[in-house]
Structure 1
Amino acid sequence: MASKAKPLNDELRKRFYPLVISRGFEKLKSSDPHFTEFKRQTSVGEDFFEVQWDKYWRPYFVLNFKKQETDDPRWSYGGRLQRKRGGSMACWFSVRRPLLHRLFTLQWNYKPQEVVDELINAFEELEQWWKNGEIGPHIYIWQYHA
């Protein structure tokens, strides 16, 4: 992994991965270092997500997720958990502050700990989506925006 994304990835491994493992997720082996995959068995199927890194190893990542129902394994649906809704990379989690935040704070970047805090808080929305289909402000569902 390139040095620009390493501090953020290290913080994810230190704080976020143990959190999701404590919630029943299993970390899967991946052949592509740009993706770290997790899955959890539930009474109605399987919850899955992957951390997807920017292909150039810039400090940007997003969580792609899906739910697969046991009664019909062909039926699955999902989306992305990200900093804000939308399809561009500007919506991904990153150490880069949005332009307005830069202007108000005069700080260019977040600390990796702040980004992981933001992800952990947003992950609660994903847990609600898996539980009851509720779409929070950090959830982007592809089928609704195609």
Structure 2
Amino acid sequence: MGRTTALRSALKAVFYPYVEARGFILDTSNQPWFTTFRRHQGDKVHVFDIQWDKYGGPRFVLNFGEAPANGLVRQHEPIAPQHIDLCDCQPRLRLQRRRGGTMGCWFQLRRPLWEQFISLSREYRPEEVAHRVTASFAEVETWWATRVQGPHVHGIGHDA
């Protein structure tokens, strides 16, 4: 069993049904390090992906943004809404367990050091992480509705 297997399984059991109930569709042509979801919302396409640690660690971050629902043009080629990727979105933002630019800010099994001392446990259970990202996803929905960045949202695009 790989280092991310338990965490990926917990996300599939807890988080995937949550976002699918909100109209998101899983893109089945994913790469190993990215899992992309999309939904049509009025005149926009909301896109987010789960980006896994490229070194195989049990950690991930959610990148999100939006694009026009009628599609767009990328490198002189028309892109249909169902094929819009996060690279087509402006601005691009990130949902993580806390603000900051390091991988220590990503959702992950390892607890912060201070929390390890208090809990006497080095890691969270995978289900705890899945429930945490599910609860934090409300900040993504809030940003799409109001453009207000919550405490777990961090800008990564040019206009964020």
TM-score by length of 2: 0.83
Match of 2:82 in 1: none
Q: Please, which runs of 5 or more residues in structure 1 have no aligned partner?
A: none
Q: 1:14 aligns to what?
A: 13
SS at match of 1:85: coil
> Which residue is 2:114 aligned to?
100
Is 1:130 the equivalent of 2:129?
Answer: no
CA distance in 1, matches of 2:156, 2:30: 25
Q: Identity of aligned pairs, percent?
A: 39
Question: Which structure has more RCO (C-alpha within 8 Å, separation ≥ 6)?
Answer: 2
Distance in 1 separating the partners of 2:151 and 2:53? 22
Q: Which residue of 2 aligns with 1:41?
A: 40
Partners of 1:104 and 1:31 lie apart in 2 by 38
What is the distance in 2 between the residues matched to 1:12 and 1:107?
21
Shift of 1:55: 1.0
Corresponding residue for 2:50? Answer: 51
Task: Count the aligned residue pairs.
Answer: 145
**Aligned mates of 1:145, 1:65 — CA distance in 2:** 13
* 1:3 Cα deviation after fit: 1.4
Distance 1:24 1:71 in 2: 18
TM-score (norm 1): 0.91
Shift of 1:76: 2.3
